[in-house]
Amino acid sequence: MNKMIKYALFLGCNIPARVRQYETSARSVFAEIGVDIEDIKEFNCCGYPLRNSDFKTFVLFSARNLALAEKLGLNMITLCKCCYGSLKMAKHHMKENLFLKDEVNETLAKEGLEYNGNLEIKHFLSALYSDIGINTLKEKITRNFKNLKIATHYGCHALRPSNIMQFDDPVSPVIFDQLVEMTGAKSIDWALKLECCGAPVLGTNDDLSMNLTEKKLTDGKKAGADYLCTACPWCHLQFDSVQNMMIEQQRINNHLPAILFPQLLGIAMGIDKETLGIDMNQIDISVIGNL
Amino acid sequence: MLFTVLLYISLFVFLLGLIYKVSTWFSRKIGIASQNFTTSERISAAVKGILGVIFSPKILILVKVFILDVILQRRILKEDLLRWIMHMLIFTGFMMLLLMHAFDSFITAPLFKEYYSTVNPFLFLRDFFGIMVLAGLMIAVYRRFILKVPRLKSSPMDYYAIIILAVIMISGILLEGIKITSYTEFRNMVENYSGLDDEGEILALEKLWVKDFGLVSPNVKGPIDPAIIPLSKVLHNMNCAECHSSTEWAIMGYPAARLLKLIALKLDRLGGVNAFWYIHFLACFIGLAYLPFSKMFHFIASPVSLLANAVMDKDKSLPANIATRQAMELDACTHCGTCSLTCSVAVAFDKIGNLNILPSEKLVFLKTYASGKDLKENEIKAIQEGIYLCTNCDRCTVVCPVGINLKELWFNVREDLIQKGNPIPLVLSPFSFYRGLNQQKLDSKNYSNPISLTKDAITDKCELMKNPDEVISLTPINKEFKEKIDLSSQATTYSYCFSCQNCSTVCPVVGNYENPQKALGLLPHQIMRSVGLGLKDLAFGSKMLWDCVTCYQCQEHCPQGVKVTDVLYELKNLAIKESFNNE
């Protein structure tokens, strides 16, 4: 890696408000491996929550963000799978439908922006895997986990629809597992690995949402996982805050704590626990560094 | 006499207004959190809270916040240097004028024995502070009307604030300018303060004042004979110099005097000094009397908000005090628009045009709402959309220059506003995630009402769903409905569906139920076929639509390339549009 890699970091709405440890841990990993980050203050919501009700406003939301990054000539990196999915989806729609793109640009022009589509959108995991590479990352790892079993949770909106997302093989993806195994931990096989976390319907059908979460947690636990590893704030909130709520409601008793991937990687790189926000997870994961 | 009467009247109105406004902080009920407290409970909780802070180490936090955020306005500086300069100019300039000039007999005179408003440094400083305020106002006008910041809204109250300050400043400067030129003023001064009664000597003095001090006299015309000047100077030094620095030091008033030179005599004869004196003090008095009801009230409420929020905590403070603080915060808002500039969803305003999406405008709405105004049906709908179209990213709270805890305000008010018994389309979206995450803080009895109400409102219109035994006529197909499914090129793929049921088999939502058809209505493959057959009621009427987790398993696994999830998305868009927007 001769040339410094630089991305516009798209944090979205959940991370700064509710999963700050994802931001601090990811930034510390970027610093460790020498990835340069540009913060664009003007970024707005990716538009994901609007998809149910207002397709065109959703596309406008994504397009404005893309236009802002494009203006600086940067590719975008997201930490959130739903932001990733939405931005990519919007990009796809504007490529397919030039009328839609023109309509969006007409609105964007009012604030001097224009979307052309000349940028790439990466997720944290895909950027680490393809742009940095396992070998480079391995050089930075100072402590190898031993006997640590991790259940990787891929997250739907990065994987599918695969023809648009181009994240990994939608049926048997590997990049998350390889990234986890690089730390010495074992990525276990579990049946519900690629299933939904339940977050999209929390607040509209809590029972369904928590059932889906519960199924995954039980399955991961049964498969022998010590931790469930996430790389999306929605999934993480579901497996951390919502799981915590489910424990309080005595809906489940056998809990499976969730850890964000940059927290896991950060520990392996010897980054301090405070920066990684280990104590900020609602379900205690503080013993992980002692392994 | 008139001056004194009006002063006391406006002071009286100001004080009454102040008492009224502060009393509303303890009486107004905002959102769900304040319903259980009486005014007296809130007052005693406030006294307890304030005393608790004053006699604790937290007092140091208050001192720090007072210096950094109230006086130095650090929070504005963090957001925008230009606005900080603007506000500092107006704030410092105006406060100094108030203390040094308006209250001179109470403050400046006792402090400085040799104080006269017409000697330096006071003469110069008064104009200097005036320039500061005017420069600040010019930046304000530039920002609101010329720069055209996207989504920054200006209300009549913003115009009022700029206008009243501008009138006070400009009338003050013109008054000073006319006074400098005024021959009547000159004669009065000579009569009252000098020992001169010889007309020849007075004329000599007059000539010096015309030459150097901007006086416009009917007696002095043409060039002044330099021979007389030494005498003039002696007279000036004996009679005037002690109380008068050179009027050129009035850096605004003097140029105004020069500008008015040609019409000065006429103005003087018409009583220009008096006229501008009236305009100036009347504007000041109007500003004072109306202050508690105007945006300028923020100069009291905003510091209170900054200080209160620095020491309050939603988990530790008394709930009654949070209720009081939220009522007070509505007055603290200066309508500066910082929240709307940083809002994650403000872009939606460009497309939807609902002002209530912008946080600054939601606050405007809340001010009237808290005062007990009844809402019309369309107003309810607009505010429900505005308050729910929020990702709870908290950016507004982080940036608010007066420290209003907006995120807690929204959470509190949102619940109140969505429990009005009408359907709200946006509750059927991931915007509900935050509410679900915080459901333990909400009344479990009514919690699911807005959701079930909205779902029912959509299914109620779907007659076919209610009569499962009805024989469906396959012709004529509802072509109009099919044609509406056109938001994206993905949508029309429903026509390739041959009901292999792969989508329903891989669907985790379907898999969640023992009897999915009972829980969800139609399953994904049935919905695809219903669209193909143009059966709108069946496509819209299933709970499946709103329980879809959008995991895209169905779409990924369809052997026919039907974009199942995307078709469901389109149906949701259309169902909301047809069920709610066409009413």
**Domain boundary residue, one of A54, A89, A123:** A123
Same domain, A259 and A157: yes
Q: Where are the alpha helices (DSSP H) in B461-541?
A: 463-466, 479-484, 502-506, 508-511, 516-520, 524-532, 536-540
Query: What's the average model confidence in pLDDT over B474-498?
Result: 85
**Listed residue (B206, B366, B438, B550) closest to A82, CA to CA:** B550
Same domain, A69 and A174: no
Does A160 sit within 8 Å of B556, measured CB to CB?
yes
> A140 to chain B nearest CA, in Å?
33
Query: What's the average model confidence in pLDDT over B350-374?
Result: 93
What's the token pair of residue B352?
A: 């939807």
Cβ of residue A31 closer than 8 Å to a chain B Cβ: no
Amino acid at B305: S
Contacts of A61 in chain B (CB under 8 A): 345, 347-348
- Residue holding tokens 């200066």? B334
Burial class (CB in 10 A: 0-12, 13-18, 19+), B221: exposed
pLDDT at A2: 42
Amino acid at B182: S
- Residue holding tokens 């210096």? B67
Distance from C-alpha of B18 to C-alpha of B290, rounded to nearest angstrom:
10
In contact, A110 and B350? CB cutoff 8 Å: yes
To 10 degrees, the CA torsion angle through A174, A177, A179, A180?
A: 180
Which of residues 374 through 413 in chain B touch A, CB cutoff 8 A?
389, 391-395, 407
Q: How many CB atoms lie within 10 A of CB B13?
A: 18
HSE toward the beta carbon, residue B504, CA cutoff 13 A: 21
Which of residues 156 through 185 in chain A touch B, CB cutoff 8 A?
156-157, 159-162, 170
Q: How confident is the model at residue A86 (pLDDT cuts 50, 70, 90)?
A: very high
Same domain, A198 and A112: no
**Listed residue (B134, B130, B137, B135) closest to B161, CA to CA:** B137
| Residue A264: C-alpha distances to residues A168, B188, B226 (Å) | 21, 86, 91
Cβ of residue B427 closer than 8 Å to a chain A Cβ: yes
Contacts of B351 in chain A (CB under 8 A): 54, 56-57, 60, 107
Residues in CB range of B115: below 8 A, 6 or more apart: B104, B108, B109, B122
What's the token pair of residue B547?
A: 């329980």
Distance from C-alpha of B203 to C-alpha of B190, rounded to nearest angstrom:
11
pLDDT at B553: 97
Cβ of residue A105 closer than 8 Å to a chain B Cβ: no
Distance from C-alpha of A200 to C-alpha of B572, rounded to nearest angstrom:
14
In contact, A41 and A76? CB cutoff 8 Å: no
Asked whether residue A128 is domain-assigned, the answer is no
Q: Which residue in B has a C-alpha nearest to residue A16's C-alpha?
A: B393
Q: What is the pLDDT of residues B135-161, one digit of tens each?
A: 999 999 999 999 888 889 999 999 999
In contact, B477 and B533? CB cutoff 8 Å: yes
The second-level CATH assignment, the architecture, of B472-581 is Orthogonal Bundle (1.10)
**Domain boundary residue, one of A95, A123, A151:** A123
Cα angle A230, A283, A180; round to 5: 30
> Whole-number mean pLDDT of chain A?
96
Show the 3-state SS of B132-190: HHHHHHHHHHHHHHHCCCCCCCCCHHHHHHHHHHHHHHHHHHHHHHHHHHCHHHHHHHH
Percent of chain B with pLDDT over 90: 85
Q: How confident is the model at residue A42 (pLDDT cuts 50, 70, 90)?
A: very high
Q: How confident is the model at residue B34 (pLDDT cuts 50, 70, 90)?
A: confident
Distance from C-alpha of A290 to C-alpha of A226, rounded to nearest angstrom:
13
**Listed residue (A218, A226, A157) closest to A191, CA to CA:** A218
The answer to whether residue A247 scores a pLDDT higher than 50 is yes
Q: Where are the domains of chain B?
A: 155-293, 298-456, 472-581
Same domain, A153 and A276: yes
Does A200 sit within 8 Å of B549, measured CB to CB?
yes
Provide the domain limits for residue A253: 143-290
Does A245 sit within 8 Å of B429, measured CB to CB?
no
Q: How many CB atoms lie within 10 A of CB A87?
A: 27
Q: How many CB atoms lie within 10 A of CB B258?
A: 16
Interface mutation vs chain A, best among B395, B433, B513, most A CBs within 10 Å? B433
Distance from C-alpha of B153 to C-alpha of B357, rounded to nearest angstrom:
12
Q: Which of A52, A64, A204 sits opposite B569 (nearest CB)?
A: A52
Does A201 sit within 8 Å of B547, measured CB to CB?
yes
The answer to whether residue B572 scores a pLDDT higher than 50 is yes
How many domains are contained in chain A?
Answer: 2
Contacts of A52 in chain B (CB under 8 A): 428-430, 569, 572-573, 576
**Listed residue (A69, A92, A212) closest to B511, CA to CA:** A212
Burial class (CB in 10 A: 0-12, 13-18, 19+), B473: exposed
pLDDT at B423: 95
- Residue holding tokens 């994240």? A167
Contacts of B436 in chain A (CB under 8 A): 202-204, 206, 209, 242
Cβ of residue A241 closer than 8 Å to a chain B Cβ: yes
> How far is residue B184 CA from its own chain's centroid?
47
pLDDT at B582: 56
Q: Name A78's bridge partners.
A: A10, A123
Least trusted range by pLDDT, from A96-100, B437-441, B475-479: B475-479
Distance from C-alpha of B87 to C-alpha of B165, rounded to nearest angstrom:
13
Cα angle A161, A165, A171; round to 5: 55
Same domain, A233 and A148: yes
- Residue holding tokens 């909301």? B576
Q: What is the pLDDT of residues B202-256, one digit of tens each?
A: 999 999 999 999 999 999 887 888 999 999 999 999 999 989 999 999 999 999 9
Cβ of residue B202 closer than 8 Å to a chain A Cβ: no
Q: What is the CATH number of the domain that holds A43?
A: 1.20.1050.140
pLDDT at A121: 98
Least trusted range by pLDDT, from A125-129, B21-25, B93-97, B110-114: B110-114
Query: What's the average model confidence in pLDDT over B359-379?
Result: 92
Contacts of A59 in chain B (CB under 8 A): none
Same domain, A31 and A69: yes
Q: Which of A44, A51, A206 sits opposite B436 (nearest CB)?
A: A206
Asked whether residue A241 is domain-assigned, the answer is yes
Does B569 sit within 8 Å of A107, measured CB to CB?
no
Long-range contacts of B1-8 (CB under 8 A, 24+ apart): B3/B281, B6/B281, B6/B282, B6/B285, B7/B281, B7/B285
Q: What are phi and psi of A152, to 5 degrees?
A: -80, 135
Same domain, A105 and A158: no
| Residue A132: C-alpha distances to residues A125, A138, A179, B406 (Å) | 10, 10, 11, 40
Cβ of residue B538 closer than 8 Å to a chain A Cβ: no
Distance from C-alpha of A2 to C-alpha of A22, rounded to nearest angstrom:
27
Does A60 sit within 8 Å of B350, measured CB to CB?
yes
Distance from C-alpha of B558 to C-alpha of B296, rounded to nearest angstrom:
63
Same domain, A115 and A206: no
Does B437 sit within 8 Å of A203, measured CB to CB?
yes
Same domain, A116 and A206: no
**Listed residue (B83, B82, B85) closest to B93, CA to CA:** B85
Contacts of A49 in chain B (CB under 8 A): 391, 429-431, 433
> How far is residue A269 CA from its own chain's centroid?
20
pTM of the model: 0.94
pLDDT at B487: 83
Q: What is the CATH number of the domain that holds A203?
A: 3.40.50.11810
> B315 to chain A nearest CA, in Å?
17
Which of residues 151 through 170 in chain B touch A, CB cutoff 8 A?
none
Same domain, A82 and A221: no
Asked whether residue A1 is domain-assigned, the answer is no
What's the token pair of residue A128?
A: 């680490």
Q: What is the pLDDT of residues B388-432, one digit of tens each?
A: 999 999 999 999 999 999 999 999 999 999 999 999 999 999 999
The answer to whether residue B483 scores a pLDDT higher than 70 is yes
Q: Name A258's bridge partners.
A: A228
pLDDT at B526: 96
**Listed residue (A191, A197, A226, A225) closest to A210, CA to CA:** A197
Q: Which of B552, B553, B573 sits opposite A54 (nearest CB)?
A: B573
Which of residues 250 through 269 in chain A touch B, CB cutoff 8 A?
none
Cβ of residue B425 closer than 8 Å to a chain A Cβ: yes
pLDDT at A3: 61
Contacts of B549 in chain A (CB under 8 A): 156, 196, 198, 200-201, 208, 212
**Domain boundary residue, one of A90, A123, A156:** A123
The answer to whether residue B492 scores a pLDDT higher than 90 is no
Reduced to 3 states (helix: H, G, I; strand: E, B; else coil), residue B439 is helix
> How far is residue B125 CA from its own chain's centroid?
32
Same domain, A107 and A155: no
How many Cβ pairs closer than 8 A exist between chain A and B?
173
Residues in CB range of B181: below 8 A, 6 or more apart: B214, B215, B216, B257, B260, B261, B264, B267, B268
Cβ of residue A39 closer than 8 Å to a chain B Cβ: no
Contacts of B359 in chain A (CB under 8 A): none
pLDDT at A1: 45
pLDDT at B583: 47
Q: What is the pLDDT of residues B504-517, one digit of tens each?
A: 999 999 999 999 99
Q: Which of B150, B392, B440 sits opposite A110 (nearest CB)?
A: B150
